[in-house]
């Protein structure tokens, strides 16, 4: 398989709340809620970087589409990593997330491997790590 990831979909409980968090709080670009003309079709697409979008889709719709029963949320099943270019940018993004209503799980701190990072959760408990890695260029 040659990976061509173009969409990362997050299951959400309340599409309007998640839209406000990501668009208004974090400043991500979107056309808002689309697909409302279809049963289980309402979704939000947010532009991340060239060729990659974040989709916010109700958990009930994901359950319907896949045929899987919705299970309790477990925030430690995955994290989304937002790599930035400096320690101060970690602090800035974490502050923005906090102002948007994120739950700060781990404030920015020096990591054991020489970087600097912090964790926050969105309104649905999805974990984001904001990280500066001095070994990576942006």
Give 73's pLDDT tier (boundaries 50, 70, 90).
Answer: confident
Give the pLDDT mean for 34-39. 95
Strands 52-58 and 127-132: unpaired
Q: Hey, what domains does the chain have and what are their CATH numbers?
A: 7-66 (3.10.180.10), 75-132 (3.30.720.110)
Q: Is the pLDDT of residue 36 over 90?
A: yes
Put simply, whether the predicted model's pTM sits higher than 0.75 gets the answer yes
CA distance 11 to 109: 29
At residue 28, the pLDDT reads: 97
Residue 31 backbone zone (phi > 0: left; psi -120 to 50: alpha; other: beta)? alpha
pLDDT at 138 over 70: no
3-state secondary structure of 33: strand
Amino acid 24: pLDDT: 97
SS3 labels along 99-137: HHCCEEEEEEEECCCCCEEEEEECCCCCEEEEEECCCCC
Q: Residue 136: pLDDT band by 50, 70, 90 thresholds?
A: confident
């Amino acid at each position: 398989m040659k990976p061509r990831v173009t969409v990362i979909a997050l299951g959400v409980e309340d599409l309007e709340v998640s839209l406000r968090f990501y668009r208004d709080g974090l400043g991500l670009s979107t056309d808002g809620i689309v697909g409302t003309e279809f049963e289980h079709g309402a979704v939000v697409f947010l532009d991340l970087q060239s060729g990659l979008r974040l989709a916010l889709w109700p958990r009930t719709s994901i359950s319907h589409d896949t045929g899987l029963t919705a299970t309790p949320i477990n925030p430690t099943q995955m994290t989304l990593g937002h790599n930035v270019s400096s320690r101060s940018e970690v602090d800035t993004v974490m502050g923005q997330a906090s102002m948007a209503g994120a739950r700060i799980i781990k404030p920015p701190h020096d990591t054991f491997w020489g970087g600097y990072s912090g964790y926050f959760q969105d309104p649905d408990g999805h974990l984001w790590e904001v990280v500066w890695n001095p070994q990576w260029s942006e």
